[in-house]
Amino acid sequence: TYLVKTQCAKDLYNPNDLSLIPTYALNLDEPPEKRWSHIVINYKDQLENLFDYFRQNQNQYKIFLDNNNQNLDKLAESFPEPYRQEILGMSNATGIGVEDFMLLNVFYELSSSCSSIVAQDFQGEIFLARNLDFGLLLGWDTRNDTWMTTQLLRKLTINLFFYRENQLLFKSTTLVGFVGLLTGLKPNKYSLSINQRKDNVPGIAGIFSWVAGNSMNASWVTLLGREVFEQDLNYLEVVDRLSQTVLLAPVYYIIAGTNEFQGAVVTRNQTDLLDLWILGSNNSWFLGQTNYDRWKAPLAIDDRRTPIYVCMNDYGRENLSFDSLFNVLSTQPVLNKLTIHTTLIKVRTGQYESYFQECKTPCPLF
């Protein structure tokens, strides 16, 4: 039963008119503390604006900013390597405190809403597309009619291409200073997007368990995403790794491969695989995942799932392309005031496009 009336967006995909996200290279052969320096120095003002906003609105972030940053300091001391060294290097390059970068790197667990689609055309070509939404209830900007944190994060959004031994290892779209992976492509191998999942045991509980020294054998959901891209794995190995690894937070991993029906949504809590949803099951040619378990109805005030299904079927499998996927992800409320960017991926060819998105008023708040 559809919860909302959907009017699918049309004719919005025109790369020449869209705002392309800037691209930087990160060399994994460099020492971790040096890898980000050439990037963060260009974004020092934007980072300071974000962190100043955090500090000025401590009531929204008090769970971490209380006690003189004690929780963030403990987290920085125990954060996994080499990511800890990368964060220390960014702090040294900009003169910005380590605790600020740490808050950015746990931000995914605090406020994120995303929409992802994995789909296959009649030729067996696999696509992955996603909207990244960030900043729910974290300060309304009355002048610009949007979420303040979303605006600040949009100015920190980049494409980051990872290299090793002068060879492209993988592509991603991320935030300056964020060392995990939210969206990634290993050309001609696999692609991944990560959506936050709400559960009875929230991600924030896993972070505090880590700080207390009780969950040191668990993996951070976005760091695990980056780890699988730095290793030489195939699609099935990636699905298995993301399905079985003990995690700090519940999550949806949306994975696309290169062969027919190599698409999956892995639904996880901290310890268990709850559901493995496979492309092609029940004759499906696409899977659409937001932030709700597929066997449960989404909240009526946050039903992005229905527009995805209505518009994907409206365009049809015969018209599956970057054009149709961009329009689906530009349909309100899939596109909303929290949306920062849209990424479009064709796994086999390595085609990767990422564009800033901003939903003009009138537009759903989330």
Phi, psi of 340 (to 5 degrees): -100, -45
Token pair belonging to 59: 């009531």
Query: Is-contact 342 330, C-beta < 8 A?
Result: yes
Q: How far apart are the C-alpha atoms of 151 and 136, rounded to whole Å? A: 12
- Lookup result for tokens 């949007």: 146
Catalytic-labelled residue, pool 8, 114, 311, 359: 114
Active site residue 359: no
Cis peptide before 333 (omega within 30 of 0): yes
Phi, psi of 20 (to 5 degrees): -75, 140
Query: Is-contact 134 150, C-beta < 8 A?
Result: yes
| 179-182: long-range contacts, CB 8 A cutoff, minimum separation 24 | 179/83, 179/86, 179/87, 179/105, 179/223, 179/226, 180/83, 180/105, 180/108, 180/220, 180/221, 180/222, 180/223, 180/225, 180/226, 181/222, 181/223, 181/225, 181/226, 181/229, 182/108, 182/132, 182/222, 182/225
- Catalytically active residues are 114
